[in-house]
Chain A
Amino acid sequence: MREQQRKDAVWRFLTYAFVITMVVVMMVPLYWMLVAATLPQEQFLQFPPRLIPGTAFLDNFAALQERLDFLRTIRNSVLIAVVYTLLSLVLCSMAGFAFAKYEFKYKEPIFYAILATLVLPIQLLVIPLFLLMAQLEWTNTFRAIILPWAANPIGIFLMRQNMKSIPDALLESARMDGATEFQIFYRIALPTMRSSLAALAIILFLFQWDLFLYPLVILESADMYTIPIGLAQLTGFQRIYYDQIMVAATLAIVPMVVLFLVLQKQFVSGILAGSLKE
């Protein structure tokens, strides 16, 4: 029995050691980023490297701002992601409601056709969309970034699945009271969907926030850059200023980390909802 207890203790120790090692591995790059962002360039280039954050963050930020208006880049990214998320939520919840609660011709085939596009990688669309945007003279505009992915197949799928659980009797009684179909959708169906909408909003926001290849092709001028494009440009210069790049990376990552800590439950349900696609 004592033998068993000792084995258990060793096992527990190993498990903790493994988990704590992994936590450290996950934290090191983020900590290193903060250190690099707050050290003046000459201290940063010293060997051995300093491991304690300095106080030069604002100086580095000012230097970064001189080379690339990164505040504007952040504003662009936030603007695009927010507008995209709202637009896509509206489109997906409306269409999802119709697929869940109405009967119309070819409903099933249309729905499965949409689902089929879920498996296609978005890279498939970049070339034709680039040509299309060039033809529409939409290159270097935000609408070219926002509109193509607004009709999001994951969104319509999630919304349909969740809206199915709304009882028909509830909608029917509203109909009896003389509510229009749109009022039923807006006043009755949507409020019951709050948690699903939050999860979907996070999926959509992160999708747009991380989008790289497509904006890289569409956005041309520095004043239109999103965060990924701005950062990629910074690493492409002849001389790489790591302190400035790390300031930019910190500005890109830290707000999202904070958001993740605050909205952790929604993030997790977003990840799980996004992973539930059959």
Chain B
Amino acid sequence: MATSDETDERVGETYRRRARMRVRRTTRQIRRAARPAWDRVRFARQDLTAAVPTLPRVAYLFIAPFFVLFGLFLAFPVAYTLYLSFFEYQGVGEGSLFWIDLGPVYIEIPQIAQLSFVGAGNYLRLLGNDLFWQSMFNTSYILAIQVPLMIGLALALALALNASFMRFKGVFRTAIALPVSANLVAYSTVFLLLFNEQLGFLNYVLSGVGLGPVPWLTSEFWARNTIIAAVTWRWTGYNMIILLAGLQTIPQQLYEAAEIDGANRWEKFRYVTLPQLKPVLLFVVVLSTIGTFKLFAEPYVITGGGPTNATITIVQYIYRQAFVNFNLGYASALTVVFVAVVSVFSILQIKLGGED
């Protein structure tokens, strides 16, 4: 038995010595291999400094202010949202989140919140939450009607204003694009009054022709349509401007050629305008979809998310959870899911639109 132990030890000793030698050899090899690369970097740096003495340093000076703010207020928060989504928020932070002690240099990032780890708990919780699904449904409903309606109107307006017989193009374009300059909350308050059931202008007109009054803000169905109408009012002109610029880049010769082939108005639209405009159209659709996903100010002001949560949007739900109930961890998980949904949606649209 003893001999066997000794043998084992001896074998072990040999093995360890061999392992050590192998490590040394590898280190040497790595150093040797890395030398040319390192020299290249060193010489390149000398070359550069020789040619234009200050260039790289100046470049860093030029980008530094941007990056300080970018890192602190954009990159860090994005990462922190993801981190926070696995925790439960318990109060204002104490102590440090992260520290490096390098002797003379000591870097410390304070803990910005008191947290307790819950793993995937927040994500499981949102999957089982009715209000989350309700807000997803509301947003999808508004999206499914509002985006096609608005893009359709914007495209029709752009085509009309691009028509050769159209007079006063500038005046019409300005008038239709005017809502672009209206502050989001300010125009929402105007719509709050416009759609008011007793005082509103809209119900006055509708009653006049025997159609009203419509319960714009108190019926679930109409409240959603009110939001849709408001958003469409604000953004149609914006999209029209982009589409109009797209239309103006289509070469006139294409239309002339189509005319020679005997194409009628519809065929010219279908086989010249639409394919030529497709990239711009796709862009406008993706942008509008993202915009409507992010809806917050309008439902916050016009309906307050009601009646009975019929118009609460995802961002509004996140806002309530984060800043009314102070469930910041849970709200972060909601945000992560929200961003994922928006991204997947945009990518899908680009993929589907890019085909055929």
A121 to B334, CA, bound (A): 13
A238 close to chain B: CB less than 8 A: no
- Fill in one digit per residue for A233-263: 1 if any B CB lies within 8 Å of its CB, else 0: 0110000001001101100110011011100
A197 close to chain B: CB less than 8 A: no
B62 close to chain A: CB less than 8 A: yes
B63 close to chain A: CB less than 8 A: yes
* Contact of A246 with B190 at beta-carbon distance under 8 Å, contacts A30-B178, A32-B201 already known: yes
Whether A245 contacts B63 by the Cβ 8 Å rule is no
* Contact of A227 with B185 at beta-carbon distance under 8 Å, contacts A28-B201, A125-B78, A131-B113 already known: yes
A228 to B66, CA, bound (A): 27
CB distance from A206 to the nearest CB of B (A): 8
- Chain A residues, CB < 8 A from B191: 29
Contact count band on A: 35 or more
A112 close to chain B: CB less than 8 A: no
B107 close to chain A: CB less than 8 A: no
Whether B331 contacts A228 by the Cβ 8 Å rule is no
Whether A29 contacts B190 by the Cβ 8 Å rule is yes
Q: How many residue pairs bridge A and B at CB < 8 Å?
A: 274
A121 to B339, CA, bound (A): 7
A259 CB contact (under 8 Å) in B181, B290, B301: B181
* Among B20-28, B51-59, B136-144, the stretch in contact with A: B51-59
Whether A124 contacts B66 by the Cβ 8 Å rule is no
B80 close to chain A: CB less than 8 A: yes
CB distance from B77 to the nearest CB of A (A): 4
Most chain B beta-carbon contacts within 10 A, residue among A26, A49, A149, A156? A26
A164 close to chain B: CB less than 8 A: no
- Chain A residues, CB < 8 A from B112: 128, 131-132, 134-135
B222 close to chain A: CB less than 8 A: no
A267 to B261, CA, bound (A): 39
A33 to B156, CA, bound (A): 27
Most chain B beta-carbon contacts within 10 A, residue among A11, A114, A149, A275? A275
CB under 8 Å from chain A, chain B span 246-277: 265
B106 close to chain A: CB less than 8 A: no
A228 to B185, CA, bound (A): 5
B323 CB contact (under 8 Å) in A33, A124, A130, A156: A130
A232 to B112, CA, bound (A): 29
Whether A272 contacts B245 by the Cβ 8 Å rule is yes
* Contact of A252 with B156 at beta-carbon distance under 8 Å, contacts A15-B163, A127-B328, A185-B62 already known: no
B221 close to chain A: CB less than 8 A: no
- Chain B residues, CB < 8 A from A210: 183-184
- Fill in one digit per residue for B46-73: 1 if any A CB lies within 8 Å of its CB, else 0: 0010001011101110110111011011
CB nearest neighbor in B for A32: B201
- The 7 A-B residue pairs whose C-beta atoms are closest, nearest first, are A128-B77, A102-B59, A98-B62, A148-B73, A95-B66, A228-B185, A151-B70
